[in-house]
């Protein structure tokens, strides 16, 4: 039990001291880090409940079930809080799907085949689970790099809506109250899953297959509806999902948060396999299970709700005043230990940190010759059709993104998804995004760029970013370079969110993402929630004939903007020193919702992978008409950097001449162009 709860996956031994520096408070924060999910006030007596989690190692071993149970777990984190899930998003990273020879060493045919197997399995698992439960998958991101070969990243995010007075917390209280185990029966699947997620993937990955859970989305749907019905009742004191470390984690966390204890009879745990011992019952990570604290004397009332949904609900124990978790098995004491010791007393490590060898040389690479090259039409088409820039429609077309009739803007239609809040004029915008290879050069800038990119995504739709969740995916923290990358990532995330004035209310850290070939390129993913008070002011990702086109933000045309950029990598330039104008980027994020509210802009799109060139191409394709673009000096000194540089914190907007009460150029500085209906570029 200590091994599971003190694993990196559960205890955050290396990251918790660093995470304490992140901003977590704000005027809209109702519940911050420490619960199953974060909760924000969105007005009208309603709250948004959201979180992102990773399921990387399970997906590397069994991609379908690994991804499916990752989706199932994050859904339970949301409805555990009494919120109805209304949207799913996912952030994915894979190795190249096709064999190639490139500047980074290429990918052989066997590795590419394995990557495609993982990719197909993960996408199928996400679609299979989310579609069956009936929650729309509305957005996310996808990136390919050789460092993720054999160690894919699968991050699942869920957003739910609840009445503020019905939020349920995971805190046991009231001696004598019953502990009800509800949902699926317990099996041997997922045992040691928490420990598996805290280790480097090795040659024994296939032997780890039993540590991967098996999901049942139809049962999850029933469990969700039953729990949501009970969230309206005062019979339920607390709910807790049985995820990593299973019953051990649920008992320990419920009792530790409530300052009480739990007494359990393991013989009463429903099981689907014979001869299970107490250790297996306590550590099984079988899916679709919940532990409820129910007021004494009202057990039958709660059990009847689950009976209507044909779900088992069994009282396995009671809350006690003594601050211990005490379990009996076959009439004998199986364990007796303080829940707080499992949850709060794991060691915390602050390790020596140093940049990796060779990094100064990579940062010193001069990108000026590449930045000064003259771009070509063929070069733009090649970049726009590259794996990291091309349309994601073959992926998201497999997801049901209209289920629930809340989706106003779904995948492929905007930078962020937009969902109506029924019964109000408001909408929420949501995004999950992260950097490409920038973290290979500067993990601090990469984490900051992830927060800016995600905030820009929701701001481009006209929404004001109000809160964030994060999933930080890195290699082992034990080498000095690994701990340096972790500490720099957390620092960059904090700097960006403070500059934006956005609290981080939930999150996840996934470490030891590496294989025998080395660690992954760090991938800090940030989920952002934005609020649109009047959804009639939403801004689409398009322009119309006759519109002016403006770029907002620091131009970023210097050679440094190519550092870590997709164009530079494809040309074999893997170095350079990135530069990030954090304050300028934050001003753009604040400006965009103002322009939407005042109806100054007609369309907007952020600049991300592929820079300005790819952003303009996407807008042209989405709009069905092209544009004549005039880049003023000094862009002509660095034309490739001007078109393909990926400096964070920039957006393009369209507007009819004279529209609105004020001119954005006069207030912030921008440059213009005019849409030409007759210049339609070919689709890449």
- Read off φ and ψ for residue 74, nearest 5 degrees: -75, -30
Contact assessment for residue 660 and residue 598, using Cβ atoms and an 8 Å cutoff: yes
Cβ atoms 458, 431 nearer than 8 A: yes
What residues have CB less than 8 Å from 401, skipping those under 6 apart? 136, 137, 138, 407, 410, 411, 417
| Burial environment of residue 516 by CB neighbours within 10 A (0 to 12, 13 to 18, 19 or more) | exposed
Structure tokens at 198: 């805290």
Buried b (16+ CB within 10 A) or exposed e, 78-109: bbbbbbbbbbbbbbbbbbbbeeeeeebeebee
Q: Measured between alpha carbons, how far is 606 from 415 in angstroms, rounded to an integer? A: 7
Whether the CA torsion 8, 119, 221, 403 is positive or negative: it is positive
Secondary structure (H, E, C), 143-180: EECHHHCCCCEEEEEEEEEEEHHHCCCCCCCCCCCEEE
The secondary structure of 335-401 as a DSSP string is: EEE-HHHHHH-S--------PPTTHHHHHT---HHHHTSPP-HHHHHHHHTSTTTS--HHHHTTS--
Counting Cβ atoms within 10 Å, is residue 477 exposed (0-12), middle (13-18) or buried (19+)?
Answer: buried
For the residues of 90-155, what is the DSSP string, one character each? EEEEE--SS-B--TT--B-HHHHHHHHHHHHHHHHHHHHHHHHHT--EEEEEEEE-GGGTT--EEE
Contact 466, 598 (CB under 8 A): no
Number of Cβ within a 10 Å radius of residue 32? 18
Which secondary-structure segment (H or E) carries 623? Answer: helix 611-623
Report phi then psi at 97, rounded to 5. -90, -10
Going by the DSSP 8-state scheme, the letter that residue 523 receives in this structure is E
Q: Which residues, 6 or more positions from 501, have their beta carbon under 8 angstroms from its beta carbon? A: 26
Greatest Cα pair distance in the chain: 82
Q: Which residues are catalytic?
A: 9, 55
Contact present, 200 and 512 (Cβ < 8 Å): yes
For residues 48 and 428, the answer to whether their CB atoms sit within 8 Å is yes
Residue 305 tokens, joined: 């709700």
What number of other Cβ atoms are within 10 A of residue 283's Cβ? 24
Instruction: Outline where DSSP puts E strands in 588-649.
Output: 603-606, 626-628
**Which residues on neighbouring strands pair with residue 135, listed in sequence order?**
none
Six-digit token pair at 435? Answer: 């950097």
The distance of Cα 573 from the centroid of its chain, to the nearest Å, equals 29
CB 108 within 8 A of CB 55: no
């Amino acid at each position: 039990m200590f091994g599971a709860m003190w694993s990196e996956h559960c205890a955050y031994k290396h990251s918790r001291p660093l995470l304490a520096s992140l901003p977590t408070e704000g005027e809209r924060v109702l519940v911050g880090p420490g619960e199953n999910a974060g909760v924000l006030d969105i007005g009208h007596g309603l709250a948004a409940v959201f979180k992102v989690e990773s399921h990387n190692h399970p997906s590397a071993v069994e991609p379908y079930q690994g991804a499916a149970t990752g989706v199932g777990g994050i859904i339970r984190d949301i409805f555990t809080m009494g919120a109805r899930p209304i949207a799913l998003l996912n952030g994915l990273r894979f190795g190249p799907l096709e064999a190639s020879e490139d500047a980074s060493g290429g990918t052989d045919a066997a590795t590419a085949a394995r990557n495609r197997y993982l990719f197909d399995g993960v996408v199928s698992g996400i679609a299979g689970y989310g579609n069956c439960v009936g929650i729309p998958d509305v957005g996310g991101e996808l990136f390919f790099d050789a460092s993720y070969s054999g160690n894919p990243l699968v991050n699942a995010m869920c957003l739910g809506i609840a009445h503020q007075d019905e939020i349920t917390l995971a805190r046991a209280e009231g001696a004598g109250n019953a502990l009800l185990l509800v949902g699926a029966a317990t099996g041997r699947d997922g045992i040691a899953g928490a420990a598996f997620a805290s280790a480097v993937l090795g040659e024994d990955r296939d032997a780890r297959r039993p540590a991967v859970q098996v999901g049942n989305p139809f049962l999850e749907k029933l469990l969700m509806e039953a729990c949501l019905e009970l969230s309206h009742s005062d019979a339920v004191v607390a709910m807790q999902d049985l995820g990593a470390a299973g019953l051990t984690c649920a008992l320990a966390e419920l009792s530790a948060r409530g300052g009480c204890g739990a007494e359990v009879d393991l013989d009463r745990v429903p099981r689907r396999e014979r001869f299970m011992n107490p250790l297996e019952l306590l550590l099984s990570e079988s899916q679709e299970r919940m532990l409820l604290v129910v007021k004494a004397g009202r057990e039958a009332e709660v059990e009847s709700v689950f009976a209507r949904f044909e779900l088992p609900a069994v009282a396995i124990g009671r809350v006690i005043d003594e601050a211990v978790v005490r379990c009996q098995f076959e009439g004998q004491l199986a364990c007796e230990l303080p829940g707080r010791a499992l949850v709060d007393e794991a060691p915390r490590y602050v390790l020596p940190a140093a940049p990796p060898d060779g990094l100064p040389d990579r940062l010193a690479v001069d990108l000026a010759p590449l930045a000064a090259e003259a771009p070509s039409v063929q070069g733009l088409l090649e970049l726009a059709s590259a794996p990291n820039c091309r349309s994601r429609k073959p992926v998201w077309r497999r997801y049901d993104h209209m289920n629930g009739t809340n989706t106003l803007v779904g995948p492929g239609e905007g930078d962020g998804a937009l969902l109506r809040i029924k019964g109000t004029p408001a909408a929420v915008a949501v995004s999950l995004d992260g950097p490409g290879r920038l973290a290979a050069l500067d993990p601090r800038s990469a984490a900051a760029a992830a927060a800016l990119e995600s905030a820009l995504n929701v701001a481009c739709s006209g929404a004001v970013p109000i809160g964030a969740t994060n999933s930080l995916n890195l290699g082992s923290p034990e080498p000095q370079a690994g701990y340096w990358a972790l500490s720099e990532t957390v620092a960059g995330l904090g700097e960006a969110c403070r500059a934006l004035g956005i609290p981080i209310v939930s999150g996840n850290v996934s470490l030891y993402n590496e294989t025998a070939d080395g660690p992954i390129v760090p991938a800090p993913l940030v989920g952002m929630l934005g609020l649109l008070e009047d959804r009639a002011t939403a801004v689409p990702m398009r322009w119309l004939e006759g519109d002016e086109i403006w770029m907002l933000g620091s131009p970023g045309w210097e050679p440094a903007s190519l550092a870590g950029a997709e164009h530079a990598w494809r040309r074999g330039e893997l170095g350079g020193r990135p530069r990030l104008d954090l304050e300028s980027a934050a001003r753009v994020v604040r400006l965009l919702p103002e322009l939407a509210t005042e109806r100054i802009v007609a369309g907007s799109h952020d600049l991300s992978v592929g820079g300005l060139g790819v952003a303009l191409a996407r807008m042209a394709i989405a709009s069905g008409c092209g544009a004549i673009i005039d880049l003023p000096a000094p862009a002509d000194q660095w034309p490739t950097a001007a078109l393909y540089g990926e400096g964070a914190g920039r957006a393009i907007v369209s507007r009819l001449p004279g529209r609105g009460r004020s001119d954005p150029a006069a207030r912030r500085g921008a440059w213009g162009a005019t849409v030409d209906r007759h210049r339609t570029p070919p689709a890449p």
